[in-house]
Amino acid sequence: MSEPKLYIVPTPIGNLEDMTIRAIRILKEVDLILAEDTRTSSKLLNHYDISNKLYPYHQFNEHKVVTALAERMLAGETMALITDAGTPGISDPGYLLIRECVKNDINIDCLPGATAFIPALVNSGLPTDKFFFEGFLPHKKGRESRLKYLSKISYTIVFYESPHRLNKTMAQFIEHFGPERKASVSREISKLHEETIRGTLLEVAGHYLDKTVKGEIVIIVGQIE
């Protein structure tokens, strides 16, 4: 019987060539691949001629399946967890399964690889020695109080945002952080139409005003000066 193990495997956030050689090998060797969306992951696996079995693991079923998956690993299966893009567990499903594996002494191996906020942070030109990762803000309840809290943090702050909320969020950032606070917005990272817009919050917000924005968004708000 093989050693119980869960591999956390980052997948490309844009360009499929960002997949590592080791990640491809792991996905070919494990007994089962846990995927956030099997249709999306099938495109990646087909690109690399990976014919392994896929099992859906996402935010709507993770509470129901974590125990059964851990039991299967304890019985000798090896599994790899992937999401639609990036590193599982970073604003994506993964934490509950990882916690269950830790609880059951199942070995966990997290491969280094793609995640959206690191290239966006480095590309911003803003201080990176200390930063605060916020990810997605609450949509409604608690959003205002969270922004008030974040406005007092002196570090560079990293946010994720969906394109249809960008203008509203930038307006709120101007209100809470001030119009002259340095910022950048990166979108379509590692894709054909990748862009990073830098300036003050007012300038960056103005760039996207009245525009149709597509792609995943990373907003970097500079530290208090």
- Segment 145-165, tens digit of pLDDT: 999 999 999 999 999 999 999
**Number of CB atoms found within 10 A of residue 180's CB:** 13
Domain 117-221 indexed as CATH 3.30.950.10: yes
Helix intervals (H) in 75-159: 95-103, 117-124, 143-150
Domain boundaries, the chain: 5-110, 117-221
CATH tag, 5-110: 3.40.1010.10
* For range 129-136, the mean pLDDT: 96
Question: Quick check: 173 and 221 in contact, CB under 8 A?
Answer: yes
Q: Is the pLDDT of residue 11 over 80?
A: yes
pTM of the model: 0.90
* For range 76-91, the mean pLDDT: 95
